[in-house]
Structure 1
Amino acid sequence: MANGKRLVVEPAWCKGCGYCVEFCPKKVLVLEHEKIVVKSPEACICCGLCEQRCPDYAIWVEKEAM
């Protein structure tokens, strides 16, 4: 991902509202079977807009282990 960070999705917490999809500037997220999927992880810039908008705390940016 970007700058030693990666996007994490917890499908069990996702209710499929789609807010993260709408706010993603790089369009890396999609809804499949009413759950969020990272379609293009290589395009993610880890800006955190999806994390900020998720009402279910189902998506977040974390530092990758070194």
Structure 2
Amino acid sequence: MSAKVTFNTDRCKGCELCTTVCPKHIVVMDANVVNHKGYHPATVKEMELCIGCASCARICPDSVITVEKF
């Protein structure tokens, strides 16, 4: 099964909770991007490794993460 994870980067506050629950350790903070709030938003570094578990989306306190399974 493949999956696609998207982040509403403008709403991400950089809490890093999503990075702690990813079983594949592919959710990271994007050091190259700063959103309008001044935070480095989360991103997935290797989307092809995503298993679509949605742990990141469930833990996000601001509901900025969407997981689509194919």
TM range, smaller chain:
0.7 to 0.9
Moved over 3 A (4+): none
- Any stretches of 5+ residues in structure 1 without a counterpart? none
Where does residue 17 of structure 2 map in the other structure? 19
Identity value in percent: 39
- Say which structure is richer in strand: 1
Where does residue 41 of structure 2 map in the other structure? 35
TM superposition score normalised by structure 1: 0.82
Tell me the matched-pair count: 62
Separation of aligned partners in 2, 1:63 and 1:43: 13
- Any stretches of 5+ residues in structure 2 without a counterpart? 32-39
TM superposition score normalised by structure 2: 0.78
